[in-house]
Structure 1
Amino acid sequence: MDEYIHKNAVAYSTLLFSFGLMTSIFNFYYVKLFLSVYGISQYWFNIAQLIYLLWNAINDPLFAYWQDNCKIEIFRTREDGHFVWRTIFVVSFLLAWFPWGDYNETKWLAGVHLFVSMACYDALYTFILLAHCALYAEISPKHEDRLRLTKYSQVAGMLGSSSVILAEFLCDGLENMRAFQIYVLILGVLGWAGMYYTATNVRTAHDLKSASIPQYLPKSDASSDPTATSIFTQFMQVIRRKNFILFVTINFLQIFHNYYLHNFLSIFADELIPSRAMPKLVKKLLYGGSNLLVPVLVLCLSPLVAKRGYYKVLLWSFYFKVGTAALMFIFGYEWHWLLVLFFLCDRSLHKAIFNFFNLAVSDIIDEDQREYRRSHPLSSSVFGYNALFTKPAQSLAPMMIVAILEANNYQDRLAEDMSVAQHEALKAAIFSVACAIPFVVGVLQVIVWRPYSIRDSHRDDNKMY
């Protein structure tokens, strides 16, 4: 059993290495690329984000239901899904980094480029990630084994997330676009290789026929399987449960906070921390080092999660988020080194805590299976229904922040046509947003998370599907 979990944990985490290489780069640079390099207008940025918001919300539950209920083996089997779609996913990752024309003459083309890049990348990312998330719940029902998957994933994630800090040092971020384009091509090849390894090596208790692998699922006649119910009935069964509603709410807030940090940390730090205040090296370490710190925090927090459970650890992190944001606002943005520490804590701890959210989803999947006596867990479907309600946060965060930046003349700042007073007003607005988002998000998460009732799964290692 231990060898089975180890081998699957390595294969499982290898995909996260591939995702880390590409997703860290995509999320960290794509907004800055289109705003600062391509010069997209706020109008076309918002149009692209609104269309993407609708597409992003719809494709997750559709793909999820497809993976859980489709009879075609290539779509139903988690591993084959990785194998087939990895090449298309790598191509979708590369779409954003190569301009399609002169955006000064054709403003709408930048909007089309942004939407197509986000939509294609998200569609393929969603399809593969849903299968990957489902594997998390299906490799083993035990809290201890799932925690091991989380630990292995962080080692792989730490290696993958180093792509940002390497981009800062090798390409100077987006300053050297030709070098950056070569760099992302290399990342695409490495990502493809990692997904190939996962596709050919990961196994679940449900897919294997070998007697050497534990079979957690009782055999059942397909005709009596409740999973065969209609998509609407299945959807309503899942989303009406209290724990699902509470989790989806805090997850929406967490993703909103996450994408604000992904997309705007470099923009905010560049404005609030002048180059004369500290060496440029510090900013590069902030941008890339915050990613590298996340796996370390996860590994350090894992024993606490094993002992106290993810419910309490998440709740404590929400309180911490509120406290640090309030303290930073009191000190002000003139304390540059303190601001660097605040950004580092806000991003790294936030992302580290986010890695334990899969434990909650897996418990909700287990609860749903027991409640409706399903022979197979609705792993992809539950992850997909969760995404239906939380994915809009990925678009709402950048739309809101860009609107605030534009209201404070950020485009004039890019054109270096801004007075000292206007620049101070822009910095004050950016600082207020940087403190307000973690404070408000943290308060709401504390209020919502407290009634959540699945709190003792870390004490029960005898759960069976």
Structure 2
Amino acid sequence: MGKSAGGCWKGAFSTALLYGSLALFTSILHNVFLLYYVETFVSIYKIDKVSFWVGESVFLLWNSLNDPLFGWLSDRAFLSAPQAGPQITSPEVVLKRLKALSRNGPLFALSFLAFWVAWASPGLQFLLCLCLYDGFLTMVDLNHNALLADLAVSFSDRTRLNFHCSIFSALGSFSVFLSYSFWDKEDFYYFRLFCVALAAFSILGFYVVSRMLRHRFEKEVQPRQNEATMLKELNVCPAPLTPQDQPVTIKMYLRQLSKHKNFMWFVSMNLVQVFHCHFNSNFFPLFLEHLLSDNISASTGSILLGISYIAPHLNNLYFLTLCQRYGVYQVVRWLFMLKLGLSVAMLLAGADHIYLLCIFIASNRVFTEGTCKLLNLVISDLVDEDFVLNQRRQATSALLFGMVALLTKPGQTFAPLIGTWLLCVYTGYDIFEREHKKDSVVSMPDVPGSGNPPLRLGCFYMLVFVPITCALLQLTAWSRFTLHGRKLQGIKTLRQGAQHGQLIDVKAI
């Protein structure tokens, strides 16, 4: 009876479904964080400008460095210690990732709660909250992304895992819409209760799902542990170390990575992608205000904002079906070409076609964010290539994801800096010094245009020329990326051969 019930439970929740659901417990919190943390500290806690910029500067440094640091701490056992005797199996690696998620997931949810109650001076609380939150978020993201490469090697299995992540990430985006009902700067009590409810749901979700997954993979690990115990009792000596079994230091690893050409070309392309994603996020309100606010209602602007959050996840479901048919390399290449084509068409049409502007502003963000959702599949392929090229005993998934983040996260900083600099150079408009003037202008509806045509034109040119430049740079770098087609199939065959008998069939678990 118990075995039958267990089988039904197992059939009801596949590994891919449980893996994807972990994205829900992250996204419901992170979307709310992105929307409200600045407004909370500026408008409610009254943080001063110096403390705000000091906190953001330290956060940017910590945000870039913690990915490779945590990746190294997670995967150093596969590099720094010789794995003589029986190799670490894929189920054991997956179990290690799940244990990290079961610890750090609830801590991530608790760090989210620390933003919404004043417990220290605003400057100190801002700095500590940002660093704690991003530290636990990084641990969750790294281990969750690494599982994509560790759970399966075949493209179809990885696509299925990514497919479920997109569905649950889209569901998680609805927390943004719910939050509008509770957000009130004058009465913060109900918003705090809402955040507590979200955090409690996330903690429960991380605990239950990671426990279910761990239970499955512990069954896979147990036979290996029994075998190792039996060999130890029989005093079977491990085989002597071969050259590829020697410990790999961080210096050696970085040297190996610098010679990994596809990794370098991917990072070059992805740096531009991260820049463009954050440029769209940072300047979306500016484009709405100066290009569309006189011609569309506030509800239409709200709908455009909502579409920009949810549509990339839903769109990704279609992109993944295209990836299964044509390969992720071709789909990403088509998205770059589409971005270039739409931007050129908008430039030729001009700034006076309001409906075209609405479609372009929304689609530009949707397609750009949609591309980002596919790139984890490419990083997983790079994990396979790194494993084969350097003859590793076990793929260092978390570390490679961390190194990608280290080299591409500066794009987050470049986006607002370059964007505000371009705006200032072209129009003379300083978004920081003249914000009070901008507010006074907006409050004068009687004066159409309000003397700001250069600003409107500057916003339009930024809107179209930034994606044109990004697309050209990305197409150039992407054309040099060779890990696709026959070469990719060969890499996957070699990895599956090297770890024969250890890889996990997602459908079977």
DSSP-derived class of the 1:228 partner: coil
Give the match for residue 123 of structure 1: 135
Change (3 A) 1:202 1:75: closer
Q: How does 1:231-310 map to 2 (within 5 A)?
A: 231-274=250-293, 277-310=295-328
Q: How does 1:138-177 map to 2 (within 5 A)?
A: 138-168=150-180, 170-171=181-182
Asked if 1:450 is matched to 2:474, the reply is no
Residues 163-183 of structure 1: per-residue CA shift (max 9 Å, x gap): 223334x24697975544433
**Alpha-carbon contact 2:94-2:147 (below 8 Å) kept:** no
DSSP-derived class of the 1:278 partner: coil
Residues 112-134 of structure 1: per-residue CA shift (max 9 Å, x gap): 55443332221111111111111
Q: How does 1:84-95 map to 2 (within 5 A)?
A: 84-95=103-114
Give the match for residue 436 of structure 2: 412
Give the match for residue 58 of structure 2: 51
Residues 428-461 of structure 1: per-residue CA shift (max 9 Å, x gap): 4333333333222111111111110011277677
Cα separation, 2, equivalents of 1:270 and 1:90: 34
Asked if 1:9 is matched to 2:16, the reply is yes
Change (3 A) 1:31 1:259: farther
Residues 62-93 of structure 1: per-residue CA shift (max 9 Å, x gap): 10010012599999911111111223211322
Counterpart of 1:132 (choices 105, 123, 144) is: 144
Deviation of the 1:365 alpha carbon: 0.8
Deviation of the 1:30 alpha carbon: 4.0
Amino acid at match of 2:57: L
Cα separation, 2, equivalents of 1:155 and 1:387: 24
Cα separation, 1, equivalents of 2:339 and 2:155: 26
**Alpha-carbon contact 2:94-2:150 (below 8 Å) kept:** no
Larger Rg: 2
Give the match for residue 32 of structure 2: 25
Counterpart of 2:70 (choices 46, 63, 73) is: 63
Cα separation, 1, equivalents of 2:240 and 2:291: 60
Cα separation, 2, equivalents of 1:127 and 1:222: 35
**Alpha-carbon contact 2:71-2:398 (below 8 Å) kept:** yes
TM-score w.r.t. the length of structure 1 is 0.84
Tell me which moved more, 341-350 or 133-142: 341-350
**Alpha-carbon contact 2:106-2:207 (below 8 Å) kept:** no
Change (3 A) 1:183 1:60: same
Give unpaired runs (5+ residues) of structure 2.
1-9, 82-91, 225-230, 232-237, 500-509
Asked if 1:189 is matched to 2:200, the reply is yes
Cα separation, 1, equivalents of 2:209 and 2:437: 45
Give the match for residue 220 of structure 2: 208
Residues 184-236 of structure 1: per-residue CA shift (max 9 Å, x gap): 33222222222223321335979931569xxxxxx996965648311221122
Residues 27-62 of structure 1: per-residue CA shift (max 9 Å, x gap): 344456566777777765544333222222211111
Cα separation, 2, equivalents of 1:423 and 1:227: 65
Amino acid at match of 2:142: L
Count of matched residue positions in the alignment of Structure 1 and Structure 2:
448
**Alpha-carbon contact 1:226-1:372 (below 8 Å) kept:** no
Deviation of the 1:99 alpha carbon: 5.6
Counterpart of 2:463 (choices 434, 437, 440) is: 434
**Alpha-carbon contact 1:48-1:115 (below 8 Å) kept:** yes
Cα separation, 2, equivalents of 1:336 and 1:267: 15
Deviation of the 1:347 alpha carbon: 1.6
Give unpaired runs (5+ residues) of structure 1.
102-108, 213-218
**Alpha-carbon contact 1:138-1:205 (below 8 Å) kept:** no
**Alpha-carbon contact 1:53-1:395 (below 8 Å) kept:** yes
Give the match for residue 104 of structure 1: none
**Alpha-carbon contact 1:154-1:295 (below 8 Å) kept:** yes
Cα separation, 1, equivalents of 2:451 and 2:115: 32
**Alpha-carbon contact 1:77-1:207 (below 8 Å) kept:** no
RMSD of equivalent CA atoms: 3.6
Tell me which moved more, 433-442 or 445-454: 433-442
Change (3 A) 1:454 1:23: same
Cα separation, 2, equivalents of 1:123 and 1:174: 28
**Alpha-carbon contact 2:33-2:112 (below 8 Å) kept:** yes
Give the match for residue 83 of structure 1: 102
TM-score w.r.t. the length of structure 2 is 0.77
Cα separation, 2, equivalents of 1:354 and 1:23: 17
Cα separation, 1, equivalents of 2:262 and 2:343: 28
Deviation of the 1:412 alpha carbon: 1.5
Cα separation, 2, equivalents of 1:229 and 1:389: 21
Cα separation, 1, equivalents of 2:405 and 2:31: 19
